[in-house]
Structure formats: structure tokens, C-alpha cells
Structure 1
Amino acid sequence: MKRELLVTDFLDRARNHYGDEEAVVATAGERYTYSEFGERADRVSAALAERGIEKGDRVAVLDPNTHYHLESAYGIMQLGAIHTPLNYRLTPDDFEYILNDAGVDAIIADYEYAGKIEAIRGAVPTETFISNDSEKTEGDWEDFEEIVADTEPEYERPEMDEDDVITINYTSGTTGDPKGVMRTHRTESLHAYLITIHQEIRDDDTYLWTLPMFHVNGWGHIYAITGMGAKHVCTRGIDAGEIFETVVAEDVSYFCAAPTVLNMLIEHHEKHGPETAGTKDVRVATAGSAPPEATIRTVEDEFGWYLKHVYGATETGPLITTSDARRLLGDGPERFSLKKRQGIGYLGTEVAVVDEDGEDVARDDASIGEIVVRGNQVMEGYWEKPEATEEAFNDRREGWYHTGDLAVVDEYGMVSIQDRKKDIIISGGENISSIELEDTLFDHDGVSDVAVIPAPSDKWGETPKAFIIPATGNPDEPGVTEEEIREFTREKMAAYKVVSKVEFVNELPTTATGKVQKYELREQEWDDEDRMVGQG
């Protein structure tokens, strides 16, 4: 028989079987059972319905990893409305574009970030504005707690189909304006099933929210952790000392950490030597740039944690591969080298590395091709961008999503990324567009020409570096300082996008037609590295 796969099933299951069990530990220390969590989500659903939100309407959530985001997400989706999580590190201009592009009807924002929405309030179609602390929020915002207290938990859940779009996750705009990745009940559900299996999620897990919930719905953990009846421990940011303290105090058994976060934890541990676990064994998943072997060795041998290296993209669910193939890794020191690889495909996921003609490259660990994928967790398409959707699925191999990542494959089918097809910088797990940085720098009077590439960074894996031909034409007397360039980008862009390295040059390498050959710059910058992909 066929039964519709709906994301509402995850909270329904938890309430049915784990109603009296602790579900959420809030950032301020409040604790909610699954029955209490579910009732609060019901009240959000009812409140939004009273404010005119219906099935298919878009409701944005701008929030760090608090219980408000979890309650809001389920409150939105129980109405069949479309959960649209926002990256809280973006600028007001970014939010103006996204809220207009998605036609967002309502927004629920954390008090710390609501000011960014207030700044562009008159330029967006949004009509309902809710803050989790209206007293700390400038402007006319309704208060989340007051709404929850004043609204009865009764609403009408509409009939929903597994192919209905239920979330829109915006990309980081690595090739121009951000694109809204449409995800259906079906893609979200199947991805949650897959991470439940491959990340070994159990009902007795305690999950620490160090991974942003806005990142493709927190890699699906808002569903998987909930559906399994495990415990969510919320956070408002990343602090190495607090992570260690929380792991011990809450007996955390599983969390996610970008390589940057792992480095922060290692540095803190070297200085302070904290306890690394409570009574439970700890699993940690990392993605983005591959962590160096030394990082993996420290995490596993010194911390006593088990590391899983995974890979994917917003468009792919996100996770599609894992290096956690224990029969292939073995238990010797060679496993650290293999764990750096992006690995093999998840269950039900076809991952291939193909040449320009769409043919599989040889499994010789030397032939380079582009990673393409198809699977039930891959996106429906880009919101109102049919041409971009068509291109993403039909470049080298028809019907497969093209990641833009270039990789090799070994004899076991384990992929390893070597370079990037497009000029994307991944710094601390965040995607940064070199094009966006270049466009910003071109507006500076002291810049004649510029090319931005990823440069190695011990802390972030990669960091943006700008090669600038100054308006004076003389790199020795550019008429502008490196700090002025950095400050210029800092004033116009989200903090994580700021250019951190600057080199003034006489000329940029170009083709006969004048196109800048960034590959030459990358080769020069990464000459001492074993690959042109960040390792931090």
C-alpha cells in the first residue's frame, strides 16, 4: 500500500509514544516534554491561522538554534504552509531580496536579528511580524510567548500531499542572487529516514544543536531527532567551552560540527583540558571542507568521539555521501586518511563522478570529473526559476543534479573532492560568492580590477582573498590600505563574507579574450597544499 510521507508525522509520532519524555532543553534552561512541545506548536499553528496563514503560504523563521525555531517550524508545517528558514548572518539587503522572492506572508524572528527585518519592513510583502521577545525588538512586533499563552491549541490541519512543497531553503548566492530550494514532504521525509540510519539516531540520543537550523532544516535533524523521540538541546551560538560543558552536563551523545568548530574545540581542549563526554559515547558529524587527518585523529583518539564525515549541498537534501564505511576503513591508522574522503552514497542515492560527456570517470583515484547525484532526497527544483532548475539537472548527465564539485573516485567508489567547478569559497562551512565580493570591491574608487579566490586558512579551511589592481596602477603605492579594503566589504556584506586577505598586483592572468584565469591564482595560492580545497 502507499501512504503519504508527511513531515507532520515526525512530531505526531513523538507525541504519541514519547509524550512524557523530555523533548527540548531551551537556551534559558526551560525544559519541555514532547506533549508540551507539541501543544506549543499547535498554538503557533492556530495563531498563524487566525492571522490568515493558509496552506501554501510562506512563513519565514529568522532564529538561532532556540526552541522557538522548532516550535515555529512545526507550527507552520502543520498548516501546510511553507517553512522558509533564514540565515541570520545575512544583511538587510539579503533579507529584502529573499522575502520578496518567496513572497513571505509572515515572519517569526529572534529579538537579536529582528532589527535587520525592521530596517527593510516597508520594502517587503510580509504582513505578520512576531518576535520571541517584543520588548527587546524595535518596531511593531507581536510577542511569541503572549501569542502562545493567548491562543487555544485548536486548528484545522488541511489535507496534504507528499509532493507538496513544505520548505524553501535559500542558497548562499554563490553564483548571483540566492535561489530558493524547494523541498517537498517526500524529500524531507526520506532524507530524515536516511540520516536516521546513517547517523545512527536512536530514541535515547541527546542531540546538541551546534549546526544552524536554517541549514536545509538543520540537515534534516529537526525531523529525525523529533521523529525518533530523542532530545534536542538548543543553543544560541558556538562557544567551545560551553560545548564541552553541555556535552557533559546534558550527557550529549551526538552533534554536528564544521571543521572550523572542531578546530575551536581542539584549541580549547589543548588550553583547558575539559572533560569530553558524560556517560554516553559521543558521535560527531562534520561536513564542508574535509578536516585534516590530524583533526580526525585528535577527535577520535584524544576526545574519544566517533567522527562521521558527510557531504552534500542545499539542493541535495543535503546529505548524499558518508565516509563512515567501517568495513572499508578498517581500524588501523589508514582510516584517518580515508575518513577525509567524502565517501560513498547514502542508501537509495546514486552518486557518480562524470566527465564532460557524462560518462563515469575511471576508479583510479586520479581521473577528475564532476559529482552528480540523483535520489529521493534531492530537491524538487528552484523556487520560480525553471531555467536554473533545468540547467542544474541536465548539464553533463540528464536527470541528475550537478553539484559543481570536481572529484576523483577510488576502487571502492569513495569520492574525494579535488577542486570546484565554480568559484565558490567555503569558509567555516558557509558558502561565499567570489562574484559577489568582486562586484562589491569594484565599487571602491581605489580598485581598478579585482579577482577573488579561496585562500588557505588554518582556522576556516578557506578564506576570501582579493587580488587587486589598484586605481593608481602601482601595487607598491596603491593609494588604499588592506584594512580599508576589508572595512569596505565589512560595511556592505555579512561579516562572514568579508575579504580577509588582500594582495595588490600589476596585472591579473587572463585568456586571449580577457577572461581572468582564476585557476592560475588558485594554483599560486595553494602551491604548498595537497589540494585546492580547504582542509580546516
Structure 2
Amino acid sequence: MHKPLLVTEFLDRARKHYGEHEAVVATSGERYSYDELGERADRFAAALQARGIEKGDRVAVLDPNTHYHLEAAYGSMQVGAVHTPLNYRLTPEDFAYILDDAEVDAIYADYDYAEKIEPIRDEVPTETFITNDADAVAGAWEAFDDVLAEAGTEYDRPEMSEDEIVTINYTSGTTGDPKGVCRTHRAETLHAYLISIHQEIRDDDTYLWTLPMFHVNGWGHIYAITGMGAKHVCTRGVDAGDIFETVREEDVSYLCGAPTVLNMLIDYYEERAAPETTGEPDVRIATAGSAPPEATIRTVEDEFGWYLKHVYGATETGPLITTSDARRTFDDDSQDRFAIKKRQGLGYLGTDIRVVDEDGNDVPQDDASIGEIVVRGNQVMDKYWNKPEATEEAFSDRLEGYYHMGDLATVDENGMISIQDRKKDIIISGGENISSIELEDTLFEHEAVSDVAVIPAPSEEWGETPKAFVVPDNGEPDDPGVTTDELVDFTRDNLASYKAVQRVEFVAQLPTTATGKVQKYELRQEEWDEEDRMVGQG
């Protein structure tokens, strides 16, 4: 028989089987059972309908990892609205673009970030503005808890189809304006099933939210943790000391962390003379992005006593499509396991991962031949919002019907992939995507800049960081008429802070082809000369 796959069923299941069990530990210390979480989601759903929100309308959520995000997400989805989580590190101009592009009808914004919405609220189609602390926010905002108290719990849940869009996740804009990745009930549900299996999520897990909930719905954990009846421990940011303390005090058994977070934890651990790293249960941690160095994995596993799972994907793919947790290929006590865990690994269940050459043919499994990673799977996006040409290109470059990841990799004899370089000029710094094109466009606006190329440069802290090669307007790299600090501040003033260029080198000219195209490859090759690969660990 066929039963529709709907994301609303994750909270429904938790309420049915784990209603009296603790569901959420809030950042304030308050604790909510699944019955209470469900009731708050119902009230938010009723409040949205009272404000005219209907099936298919977009409801944005701008929030760090608090219980309000979970309630707003499930409340929105219960009325058939499209959950549209926003990256809280963006600028007001970024939010204006996204809210307009998605035609967002209502927004819940945490009090720390509502100030970024206030300046642009008259420019966007959004009509409903809700925050969790209206007294802390300028402008006319409704208070979340007051809205819930007034709403009651009765709402009409519309009939929904598994093929309908339920989430739009905006990319970081690595090739121009951000693109809205459309994900259906079916895609979200199957991805949550997959991570429940591969991340071994159980009902007695306690999950610590160090991974942003906005980031492809927190890698699907807003669904999987909820549906399995496990416990959410919320946070308002990432602090190494707080992470270790929370792991101990809340008996955390599972968390996620980009390689940057792993480095923060290691630094804290070494500076504090090896504090206790676990509570009662064993701890496992998932990391993604570029592969962490073997030394990082070794410290996490041998010193912290945590089990590390390295996974890989993209916003467009769910995100997760591979795992290095292939235990038949390594022994838990062998030092050889770290080299295997660095790899992006094997495809998830039901996921077709290939590495193909420019003609669309599979490269040999010799761990030397390089091709582009392409993927088919039920967790892959439906389309880009209002961008049919970009959608067609993403699925039809080298191999028709496969999403093209833009990463170049090799494949070993076991079929495990390992990324070697990037097809596109994307900088991944601390797990965040940064567009070199966007940085170049910004720097070109500075009067002292004649020409510029931005590439990823190696960084011990972030894996890689943006570096600009600048041809000064006066043509004198030894006396460019502007300082590095001034250019860094210029990018920080005009972009989200994490996108700011961190290093600047003044040059007389940039390497170009005969047609004038800048040869970024030459710049990367020179910058990464001392490294073992031209891709960072961040």
C-alpha cells in the first residue's frame, strides 16, 4: 500500500508515544515534554491561520537554536505552510532579497535578529511579524508567547501531498544571489529516515544543538530527533566550555560540529588540562564540510573518547549523501581508521553516488583519477525556487538526471570518495560557504582597487579563509594607497561579517589567459604549495 510521507508525522509520532517524556531543554533552562511542545506548535498553527496564513504560504524563521524555532517550524508545517529558515548571519539586504524572492507572508524572528528585519520590513511582502521578546525589539512586533496564549489549540490541518514543497532553504549565494532550494515532504522525510539509520539515532539519545537549525533544517535533525522521541538540548551559540559542560550535565549522547567547532573544542580541552568530556552515555559526533585533519579526528576519538562520523553533502542534496562510517573497512583500535574517516566515504542507503569525467563516464576506482561528484537520491531537492534554468543546469551538466556537486574527487577500491579540489570558486570557511565572486564585486567598489581575484587560502583555525590578490588603482603594489586593514573593514561593512576578506596581497598584475580570464588556479596552486591538497579543512 502507499502511505504519503509527510513531515508533520514526526511530531505526531513523538506526541503519541513519548508525550510525557522530556522533548526540549530550552536555552532558559525550561523543559518541555512532547505533549507541551506539540501544544505550543498547535497554538502557533492556530495563530497563523487566524492571521490569514494558508497552505502554500511561506513562513520564515530567523532564530538561533531555541525551542521557538522548533515550535514555529512545526506550527507552520501543520497548516501546510512552507517553512523558510533564514541564516541569522546575513545582512538586512540579504534578508530583503530572500523575503521578497520567496514572497514570505509571515516571519518569526528571535529578538537578537529582529533588528536586521526592522529596517527592511517596508520593502518586503511580509505582513506578520512575531518575536520572542517584543519589548527588546524596536517597531511593531507581536510577542510569541502572547500570540500562543491568545490563539488556542484548534486549527484546521489541510490535506497535504508528499510531493508538495514544505521547505525552502536558501543557499549562501556562492554564485550570485542566494537560490531557494525547494524540498518536498517526501524528500525531507526520507532524508530524516536516512540520518536516523546512518547516525544511529535512538529514543534515548540526547542531542545537543550546535549545528544551526536553519542549515538544511539542521541536517534534518528537527525531524529525526523529534520523530524518534529523543531529546533536544537548545543553544544560542557555540562556546567550547558550554558544550563540554552541557555534554556532562545533560548526558548528551550525540551532537554535530563543523571542523571549526572541533578545533575550538580541542583548543579549550588542551588549555584547560583535559576536562571531563562525557556524561553517563557514550558520545558520538558528526562533522561535515571539508575533511578534518587526521590529527583532529585522533584527538576527538582518543582524547575526548567520542566516536566521530564524517558525512558529506550540500543544501541541494538534503544535505547528507555519504558517510565515512564504514566499519568493515577499519578496526576501531587501529590508527589506520583516521585516514579512512577523513574521506567523504560511501553513499547513504538508496543514494546513487558517482564520480564522472567530463564525458559523464565513471572514473576508475584507483584513488588517482579525478572527476566530479554527481548524485541521485530521494533526499535530493525538487528544484530551485523560481529558477528553472539554474535547476536544469544543476541536473544536466556532465550526466543527465544527476545533481552535480561541483566537487572534484577520486574513488578508492572500496568505492569511497575523497574530495581533491573544487570545480567552482567556493570558499568554505568554518563550514560556511563564501562566494569569491561576491567578495570580488565588493572589493571592486573600493576606489583604490583596480583589479582583484579572491581565492581560498589555508587557515589553521578555519580550514580556509578568503584571500584577495589586489591590483591597486595607482599601479604600485609596494605603495598601494590603501591598507590591508582598510580593505578588510570595507568588506566587513558591506557583507555579512563571516564573508569578509581576511588576507590581502597587493600585486602588479593577475595571471590571465590569452582572452583575459584570470587564472585563479595558478593563484591557488601557489597559495597551497605547502599543503597536501588544494581544499581546506574547514
Give the TM-score category using the shorter length.
Answer: over 0.9
Deviation sequence 1:199-244 (CA, Å, 0-9, x none): 0000000000000000000000000000000000000000000000
User: In the aligned structure 1, how far is the partner of 2:292 from the partner of 2:196?
Assistant: 23
User: In the aligned structure 2, how far is the partner of 1:344 from the partner of 1:480?
Assistant: 48
SS in 1 for 2:166: strand
- The residue aligned with 1:33 is 33
Does residue 162 of structure 1 match 2:162? yes
Output aligned runs, 1:124-139, within 5 Å: 124-139=124-139
Q: Which runs of 4+ in 1 moved over 4 A?
A: none
- The residue aligned with 1:512 is 514
SS in 2 for 1:478: coil
- The residue aligned with 2:299 is 298
Choose the corresponding residue for 2:389, options 387, 390, 393: 387
CA offset at residue 179 of structure 1? 0.3
Deviation sequence 1:322-358 (CA, Å, 0-9, x none): 0000001233111101100000000000000000000
User: In the aligned structure 2, how far is the partner of 1:241 from the partner of 1:292?
Assistant: 22
SS in 1 for 2:191: helix
- The residue aligned with 1:476 is 478
CA offset at residue 289 of structure 1? 1.3
CA offset at residue 122 of structure 1? 0.9
User: In the aligned structure 2, how far is the partner of 1:128 from the partner of 1:8?
Assistant: 23
- The residue aligned with 1:409 is 411
Q: Is the 8 A contact 1:329 1:339 kept in 2?
A: no
- The residue aligned with 2:268 is 268
CA offset at residue 535 of structure 1? 2.0
- The residue aligned with 1:8 is 8
CA offset at residue 456 of structure 1? 0.3
Output aligned runs, 1:102-251, within 5 Å: 102-251=102-251
SS in 2 for 1:534: coil
SS in 2 for 1:169: strand
Letter in 2 for 1:235: T
Letter in 2 for 1:418: Q
- The residue aligned with 1:435 is 437
- The residue aligned with 1:279 is 280
CA offset at residue 148 of structure 1? 1.0
Letter in 2 for 1:224: A
- The residue aligned with 2:322 is 321
Letter in 1 for 2:317: T
User: In the aligned structure 2, how far is the partner of 1:415 from the partner of 1:501?
Assistant: 31
Q: TM-score, normalised by structure 1?
A: 1.00
SS in 2 for 1:119: helix
Aligned length: 536
CA offset at residue 274 of structure 1? 1.6
SS in 1 for 2:186: helix
Letter in 2 for 1:458: E
- The residue aligned with 1:87 is 87
User: In the aligned structure 2, how far is the partner of 1:271 from the partner of 1:356?
Assistant: 48
User: In the aligned structure 2, how far is the partner of 1:398 from the partner of 1:535?
Assistant: 31
- The residue aligned with 2:367 is 365
Letter in 2 for 1:177: D
- The residue aligned with 1:72 is 72
Deviation sequence 1:482-531 (CA, Å, 0-9, x none): 00000000100001000000000011010000000000000000000000
- The residue aligned with 1:43 is 43
User: In the aligned structure 2, how far is the partner of 1:340 from the partner of 1:67?
Assistant: 33
User: In the aligned structure 2, how far is the partner of 1:153 from the partner of 1:228?
Assistant: 24
User: In the aligned structure 2, how far is the partner of 1:6 from the partner of 1:48?
Assistant: 20
User: In the aligned structure 2, how far is the partner of 1:486 from the partner of 1:395?
Assistant: 36
The answer for unaligned runs of 5 or more in structure 2 is none
User: In the aligned structure 1, how far is the partner of 2:296 from the partner of 2:429?
Assistant: 17
- The residue aligned with 2:500 is 498
Letter in 1 for 2:58: R
User: In the aligned structure 1, how far is the partner of 2:343 from the partner of 2:458?
Assistant: 18
Does residue 289 of structure 1 match 2:290? yes
CA offset at residue 44 of structure 1? 0.2
- The residue aligned with 1:462 is 464
Output aligned runs, 1:445-460, within 5 Å: 445-460=447-462
Deviation sequence 1:132-151 (CA, Å, 0-9, x none): 10000110000001011111
- The residue aligned with 1:333 is 335
User: In the aligned structure 2, how far is the partner of 1:330 from the partner of 1:194?
Assistant: 24
User: In the aligned structure 2, how far is the partner of 1:535 from the partner of 1:227?
Assistant: 32
User: In the aligned structure 1, how far is the partner of 2:385 from the partner of 2:325?
Assistant: 33
Q: Is the 8 A contact 1:24 1:32 kept in 2?
A: yes
Letter in 2 for 1:35: D
SS in 2 for 1:371: strand
- The residue aligned with 1:97 is 97
User: In the aligned structure 2, how far is the partner of 1:520 from the partner of 1:337?
Assistant: 28
- The residue aligned with 1:419 is 421
CA offset at residue 184 of structure 1? 0.3
User: In the aligned structure 2, how far is the partner of 1:452 from the partner of 1:173?
Assistant: 15
